[in-house]
Amino acid sequence: MTDDCLFCQIIAGTVDATIVLEEEHVVGFLDVRPVFKGHVLLVPREHLVTLADLPERLMVPLFGAAQRVGNAITSGLGAQGTFVAMNNVVSQSVAHLHVHVVPRTKGDGLRGFFWPRTKYVEGEAEEYAAKIRAALSH
């Protein structure tokens, strides 16, 4: 854990986030500025900055979580698919390794790597999180 890392603070519970997944090695929460509503960030509990820093022992926990969350987004939110991505240094707004799992539907307007951002209205983030958590529990 690093005291000045926002994602470490979320993992520690000292900064609020809308959590969708808590596992031994991985935590998933809704992005506060989602590309599309239901956009989840998956982070290893261990503070790592880039994919090159990810030890082999955490690859299956992290990418297994990405697979499960992607499935939960399609079944729980009715998305047709997902976009899964990771930035390393460039465009990495928080220096803690994280995987984006973004709901997609045909014609949603996402083009290339231009990521327009949206916001949740009051209470909406928890509604999306609850649907994803419910789908993960099945």
Instruction: Find, among 29, 23, 39, 31, the residue nearest to 101 by Cα.
Output: 39
Assign 3-class secondary structure to 78-115.
CCCEEEEECCCCCCCCCCCCCEEEEEECCCCCCECCEC
% of the chain surpassing 70 pLDDT = 97
CB 65: neighbour CB atoms within 10 A?
Answer: 23
Domain definitions of the chain by residue range: 6-136
- pLDDT bracket for residue 114 (50, 70, 90): low
Residue 38 has pLDDT above 70, yes or no: yes
pLDDT of residue 8: 97
What one-character DSSP code corresponds to residue 120?
Answer: P
pLDDT digits (tens, 9 = 90+) for 46-71: 999 999 999 999 999 999 999 999 99
Residue 134 has pLDDT above 90, yes or no: yes
Among the four given CATH numbers 3.40.640.10, 3.20.20.105, 1.20.5.440, 3.30.428.10, the one describing domain 6-136: 3.30.428.10
- pLDDT bracket for residue 115 (50, 70, 90): low
Q: What is the mean pLDDT of the chain?
A: 93
pLDDT of residue 91: 81
Can you give the pTM of this predicted structure? Answer: 0.89
pLDDT of residue 88: 86
Helix axes 56-77, 124-136, angle to 10 degrees: 110
